[in-house]
A and B are shown apart, each in its own frame.
Chain A
């Protein structure tokens, strides 16, 4: 079945550092891909998404490009802030299973001043 694998955390960075969180997937076809973010004490919220190959999703300085050749959707940000400290989840739509979301395990990011 479809699956999502993302890099394990925790990731600890200094403010203004470059961030990459890796996400790869296994799926039939070309599912829509998502990054969600969970700030401390809150529910998950959509950060960005891409619906087809080579699409780039972007929001709040974060970017991710849908790469079908490498089945990847890595999350990047050029200069992280303390306020970016959160847990980040990669997910895909399982088109063959009632369009439910398949989730990665999450990557915790801590940004130090």
Chain B
């Protein structure tokens, strides 16, 4: 079974709808991240969380919110989706221990906002 899972894998929605993307991990990592990927723009950080009570904005948090329900779960919400939020969204995890900075990614959610 995959260590980092994302649901749904694909979603098509309409402008103005509320959407939640979910991420779960079995790696036992404290740190979790949400990125979006757009062609030609690479990966951009939306939000990140170092533990259940520590949530931080990334470089493009406007229009998004997150919830860290447990160490293993980190959800991303679009309160009122707009077409320019059409993108590929990735969740990633990272162990907080010293000496390692590797992030582990889920398979992604492809979101289309019409």
> B105 to chain A: closest CB distance in Å?
4
A44–B42 CB distance below 8 A: no
Q: Which of B40, B50, B105 contacts A44 (CB 8 A)?
A: B105
Over the window 39-63 of chain B, the binary record of Cβ atoms lying under 8 Å from chain A Cβ atoms (1 yes, 0 no) is 0111101001010000010000000
B107–A42 CB distance below 8 A: yes
A43 to B107 Cα, complex, angstroms: 4
Task: Say yes or no for A73: interface residue by CB 8 A criterion.
Answer: no
> A111 to chain B: closest CB distance in Å?
20
A45–B50 CB distance below 8 A: no
A-B contact count (CB 8 A): 42
Q: Write out the residue numbers on chain B whose beta carbons fall within 8 Å of the beta carbon of A105.
A: 40-42
> B64 to chain A: closest CB distance in Å?
17
A69 to B54 Cα, complex, angstroms: 38
Number of A residues with CB within 8 Å of any CB on chain B:
19
B41–A34 CB distance below 8 A: no
Number of B residues with CB within 8 Å of any CB on chain A:
19
Q: Write out the residue numbers on chain B whose beta carbons fall within 8 Å of the beta carbon of A41.
A: 107
* Residues 58 to 113 of chain A near chain B (Cβ within 8 Å): 89, 93, 98-101, 103-106
Task: Say yes or no for B101: interface residue by CB 8 A criterion.
Answer: yes
List residues of chain A with CB under 8 Å of any chain B CB: 32, 34, 41-46, 49, 89, 93, 98-101, 103-106
List residues of chain B with CB under 8 Å of any chain A CB: 4, 40-43, 45, 48, 50, 56, 90, 92, 101-108
List 21 A–B pairs whose Cβ atoms lie within 8 Å, in order of A's numbering: A32-B101, A34-B101, A41-B107, A43-B4, A43-B90, A43-B106, A43-B108, A44-B90, A44-B92, A44-B103, A46-B104, A49-B102, A89-B43, A98-B50, A98-B56, A100-B45, A101-B101, A103-B42, A104-B42, A105-B40, A106-B42
